[in-house]
Amino acid sequence: MARSARPLIAALLALLAAVSLVWMVQGIGGGNRSFILQLRGTKLAGLVLVGAAVGTATVLFQTVAANRVLTPSIMGFDALYVLLQTALVAGLGMAGFAGLPAGAKFLAEVAAMSVLSAALFGTLLGRGARDIPRTILTGVILGVLFRSLSTFLARVMDPNAFAVVQSVSVASFGSIDAALLPMAGLIMAACLGVAMRLSARLDVLALGRDAALSLGLPFDRLVLATLGLVGMLVAVSTALVGPVAFFGLLVAGLAHRLSPSSRHEVLLPVAGLIGALFLVAGQTLFERLMGQTGTLSVVVEFAGGLFFLFLLLKGRIR
Amino acid sequence: MIRVTGLSHRIGASTILHDLDLTLPRGKLVALIGPNGAGKSTLLRLIARLEPLQQGRIQIDGLDLATTPSARLALAMAVMGQQARIASRLRVGELVGFGRWPHHHGRPRAADHQAVDQALDAFGLTPLRHRFLDEISGGQAQRAHLAMTFAQGTDWLLLDEPLNNLDMAHARALMARLADLVRGSGRSVVTVIHEVNYAAAWADHVVAMKDGRIVAEGAPATVLTEPVLSALYDTPIEVARHDGRPLVLHHHRHDDLDAPCPGPATETRLALH
Amino acid sequence: MKARPLVLSGLVLSALILASLGVGAASIDLGGSDPWTMLVLMQSRLPRTLALLLTGAALAVAGVVIQSLVRNRFVGPDTAGTGESAALGLLAVTLLAPAAPIWVRMIAASLAAMAGTALFLAIVRRLPAREVMLVPIAGLILSGIVGGVVTWIAWEADLLQFVATWLMSGEFSGVIAGRYELLWVAGLAALLAWFAADRFAILSLGDEVATGLGLSSRGVMRLGMVVVSVVSALVVVTVGMIPFIGLVVPNIVARIMGDNLRASIPVVAAGGAGLLLACDLLGRVLRHPYEIPVGTILGIVGSVVFLWLLYRPASHG
């Protein structure tokens, strides 16, 4: 790791540890401590995982797309995951897919998501990535299409149970699916490991297609692999809390601003740590100090949306 | 006639027009010429009420611009700005038809249809009237816009650099049409022209502007002279005569082809002082 | 020859209306006149069909209007923050004056929608003019932000159930006599737009052309904002968000017959009504006797058509 980045990473880690400590012990009463600690610990792990997944996924995606204003969620990745979930239940429902243990089911979904993202977004970015506004618009509309298809499938499957899809179409940091945590953690660790191994090649990828090819990088294969990773990371965060559209934009923007180096071996951990820090600190603030469990997702999206509008008006998106 | 008195215009901190007084005669083809940034387009756009009047007074055939309703002015003058590409998908005939809107406000009568037919005919657009604007060439679209301005049937036509993006043949044909318009139907045309020779060849009255002031005005033969033009463009310019009209020669350095001389950059810098 | 698109769409529309009167959870005999048939027809089928016609036509016309206001083909009344703003206004009235009569609520919703549309227009004016695709993106983001605020306030005030009916995909299964009549006002607003068709057509040629023809573009802008806002507000409040009608239908009609709005607005209205009716019928028969909301069907149909519009070759030929 680049030496110049050590102080930043150490500082982010220390901050995260401090905030996590506040989260764990703040206002803890005398009764049933172990239960409360376990509950809070689960939530903390979820928040850290989601924050890190969104942060690293956005950095990876922006490198592939050669653009700093796109995020996987703006491009419809999370809607694709929701559609995939619904479609798997609809298609394999008879074969007992829905009855599989949560971890195994999740693993299957993540694998499918990785292949699908690489195929779909590889095609899209390969064809029209020069025209960024059109690419964004395509992503947004794809998102609408995927969401509508999910609702449609759910309605056709079971006309009375469409609420299932609606519940995963709004982000909620307050309720994290604990059953998925171990598997999500494993996938997350694997993805990060692969991303860090690829980091030197990602630095070359960031130079653009022509430069990367002339330096002998297997450009197209690396793009597909990276998109596959992004797909898995989005699956992790969406499965745990639901879709978050603009949060990644804030995190990646901040990571690029704070990081002393634009090398991915620094960028990726910095983005992951910033994402985790944001969510843990935000949830501590809103849930503990202000007593509002559901507010964080709205505030994060609101701030991210305004930031995006700001970039748009400043002429940074073109 | 168009009478401009005490007209000044500022954009931010810079003054574009300095206290202009000007009278434009009726029944003539008037050309506004001058170097970049002279204020020609601003003057035209102010007369056409496309920009709000800041200081001064403009009257068109006795109608005061500040007090006459825009709808009334649309019966006295028609304007063609430097058009951006329009997003609407209109047929040529429909576009020209909108030129009659000030007369009928939505209920076209026989006279209006007749005027549209005439305008299409005058600009050679009758065969194209059912074609969509985005399916014809740029020169044809330009002609369609001009036909729309013509169809408005006003005494005055104000055109902002109508020759932009036209090749030699189309530019010449356009100027010939404007000259015919003035001679044949007694209309008055005021147009901003970048290339002096089109003014020399076709205009009846030339207004030369520089740095927001009027440097010279009058018949082409009196304005388009070597001293006036050389001072106007800060470049040595020769004027010859061709078919009885001035012909401006400025395409190379005639006098001192061999002598070492200051480059164009130095010349303009000197001119700024 | 000029009237052909109108005649054709009229014929298709009539067939769809008959089908809409005949299809539903309760089975009736259209030829009969027994009390049960009459009850179903007059209380449910006819109101529903009328509501669909009014909504589809009004939204499509509102789409033409907003496209000429921003001179951009890739926007619709549902992607300009208008509907979400209407929901915000309605929510505010519900919280501040719960006892307010229905017309006060409608006026509040329309005014809020107008404010939202004005904000959108102000943002659009600041965007670089050449970047055509940025306009719809700005509108979608604005919709998202306002929608987020509405959801949050509703969550805090425990009104989420109430709000969900406006922001979720719209459906007409709840339409019965006495609960859709406000849509006539939306229809009237669309009619008003038709009367002013020439003005909108001139406005979309640019401010300079409009001024040159003696037309006050501000006045036309205001009229357009009123039409778009009233239509969006009443539709959102009565049946929920109906996506893509206002975006897709004007595009297709313009492709076929151009933008001479005086001639094309009736076709746009018929097309909007027809598309909405067809999608609603599809939703009624696909999972009979259950229903799939028309908003969901349109989300699929509309986004596919939109993607096609984005990637079709330019119309230069």
The answer to whether position C183 is within a domain reads yes
Q: How many domains does chain C have?
A: 1
Contact list in B for residue C206 (CB cut-off 8 A) is 81, 83-84, 86
Give residue for tokens 């470049």: B235
For A133, the closest of C137, C149, C304 (CB atoms) is C137
Give me the amino acid identity at C267.
V
More confident residue, A315 or A218: A218
Chain B residue with minimal CA distance to C204?
B88
Q: Across the interface, do B70 and C206 touch by the CB < 8 Å criterion? A: no
Measured CB to CB, residues of chain C less than 8 Å from chain B are: 68, 71-73, 129, 198, 201-202, 204-206, 208-209, 211-216, 254-255, 258-260, 262, 315-317
* pLDDT above 70 (res B154): yes
Query: Cβ(C137)–Cβ(C74) under 8 Å?
Result: no
Residue A226's H or E segment, with its range, is helix A219-241
Q: What is the DSSP letter of B149?
A: H
The answer to whether position C209 is within a domain reads yes
Read off the tokens for C304: 């596919």
User: Would you place residue B266 in the very low, low, confident or very high pLDDT band (cuts 50, 70, 90)?
Assistant: very low
The pairing of beta strand B77-80 with beta strand B156-159:
parallel
For B88, the closest of C129, C204, C211 (CB atoms) is C204
* pLDDT above 90 (res A277): yes
* pLDDT above 50 (res A141): yes
pLDDT tens for each residue of B79-94: 988 766 666 788 899 8
Q: Across the interface, do C201 and B70 touch by the CB < 8 Å criterion? A: no
The answer to whether position C21 is within a domain reads no
The answer to whether position C23 is within a domain reads no
| Predicted pLDDT of residue B265 | 44
Q: Across the interface, do A312 and C303 touch by the CB < 8 Å criterion? A: no
Question: How far from each other are the two terminal CA atoms of chain B, in whole angstroms?
Answer: 36
The half-sphere exposure of A232 on its side-chain side, counting CA atoms within 13 A, is: 24
Torsion of CA C187, C190, C195, C200, to 10 degrees: 180
Choose, out of B86, B89, B136, B154, the residue to mutate when testing the contact with C (most C CBs < 10 Å): B89
User: Would you place residue A129 in the very low, low, confident or very high pLDDT band (cuts 50, 70, 90)?
Assistant: low
Which residues are within 8 A (CB) of C225 and not within 5 positions of it... i.e. 6 or more apart?
A: C69, C114, C117, C118, C121
Q: For residues A302-306, give the mean pLDDT.
A: 82
Contact list in C for residue A317 (CB cut-off 8 A) is 134, 137
Q: Across the interface, do A306 and C300 touch by the CB < 8 Å criterion? A: no
The answer to whether position C153 is within a domain reads yes
Measure the CA–CA gap between C271 and C56, rounded to whole angstroms: 8
- Count how many pairs of residues, chain B against chain C, have C-beta atoms within 8 Å: 87
- Directed axis angle between helix A132-157 and helix A102-128, to 10°? 150
Q: For residues C82-86, give the mean pLDDT.
A: 90
Measure the CA–CA gap between A1 and A10, rounded to whole angstroms: 12
Angle subtended at Cα B166 by Cα C257 and Cα B73, rounded to the nearest 5 degrees: 70
pTM comes to: 0.82
Give residue for tokens 């949560």: A102
Chain C residue with minimal CA distance to B153?
C213
- Count how many pairs of residues, chain A against chain C, have C-beta atoms within 8 Å: 108
Phi/psi at B18 (5° precision):
-110, 100
pLDDT tens for each residue of A27-84: 777 677 788 888 888 889 999 999 999 999 999 998 888 777 778 888 888 888 888 8
Range of lowest pLDDT (A168-177, B247-256, B264-273): B264-273
- Percent of chain A topping pLDDT 70: 86
Q: Is the ipTM of this complex over 0.95?
A: no
For A305, the closest of C74, C145, C156 (CB atoms) is C145
Contact list in C for residue B89 (CB cut-off 8 A) is 254-255, 258-259, 315
Q: Mark B106-120 as b/e (b = at least 16 C-beta within 10 Å).
A: eebeeebeebbebbb
For C211, the closest of B49, B89, B99 (CB atoms) is B49
Measure the CA–CA gap between C312 and B144, rounded to whole angstroms: 27
> What count of residues does chain A have?
318
Touch between chain C and chain A (3+ CB pairs, < 8 Å)? yes
Torsion sign (Cα): B183, B184, B187, B191: negative
Measure the CA–CA gap between A43 and C41, rounded to whole angstroms: 54
Q: What is the DSSP letter of C241?
A: B
Measure the CA–CA gap between A162 and A146, rounded to whole angstroms: 15
Q: For residues A150-166, give the mean pLDDT.
A: 67
Contact list in C for residue B78 (CB cut-off 8 A) is 212
Sheet holding B2-11, edge to edge: B14-24, B2-11, B55-60, B63-64
Q: For residues A234-239, give the mean pLDDT.
A: 87
For C296, the closest of A141, A148, A309 (CB atoms) is A148
pLDDT tens for each residue of B221-234: 999 999 999 999 98
Measure the CA–CA gap between C292 and B252, rounded to whole angstroms: 76
Touch between chain B and chain C (3+ CB pairs, < 8 Å)? yes
The answer to whether position C4 is within a domain reads no
Q: Across the interface, do A148 and C155 touch by the CB < 8 Å criterion? A: no
| Predicted pLDDT of residue B261 | 46
Residue C259, domain extent: 51-311
Q: Across the interface, do C310 and A142 touch by the CB < 8 Å criterion? A: no
| Predicted pLDDT of residue C144 | 83
User: Exposure of B251 by Cβ count < 10 A (0-12 exposed, 13-18 middle, 19+ buried)?
Assistant: exposed
Give residue for tokens 């910033």: A274
Query: Cβ(B100)–Cβ(B152) under 8 Å?
Result: yes
Contact list in A for residue C243 (CB cut-off 8 A) is 144
| Predicted pLDDT of residue A95 | 58
Q: Residue C58: which CATH number? A: 1.10.3470.10
Contact list in B for residue C73 (CB cut-off 8 A) is 87
Choose, out of C75, C202, C208, C262, the residue to mutate when testing the contact with B (most B CBs < 10 Å): C208
Range of lowest pLDDT (B27-31, B260-264, C230-234): B260-264
Chain A residue with minimal CA distance to C158?
A294
Across all residues in chain B, what is the average pLDDT?
A: 86
Neighboring chains of A (3 or more beta-carbon pairs < 8 A): C
Residue A246: C-alpha distances to residues A60, A149, A301, C144, C222 (Å): 15, 22, 6, 10, 33
Choose, out of C145, C242, C284, the residue to mutate when testing the contact with A (most A CBs < 10 Å): C145
User: Would you place residue B256 in the very low, low, confident or very high pLDDT band (cuts 50, 70, 90)?
Assistant: low
Chain A residue with minimal CA distance to C124?
A313
- Percent of chain B topping pLDDT 90: 50
Measure the CA–CA gap between A207 and A98, rounded to whole angstroms: 44
Read off the tokens for C312: 């079709």
C149 in contact with chain A, both atoms CB, cutoff 8 A: yes
The answer to whether position C258 is within a domain reads yes
Q: Across the interface, do B89 and C258 touch by the CB < 8 Å criterion? A: yes
| Predicted pLDDT of residue B253 | 63
The answer to whether position C9 is within a domain reads no
Q: Across the interface, do C169 and A148 touch by the CB < 8 Å criterion? A: yes
For C296, the closest of A138, A151, A292 (CB atoms) is A151
Query: Highest mean pLDDT range out of A173-187, A194-208, B4-18?
Result: B4-18
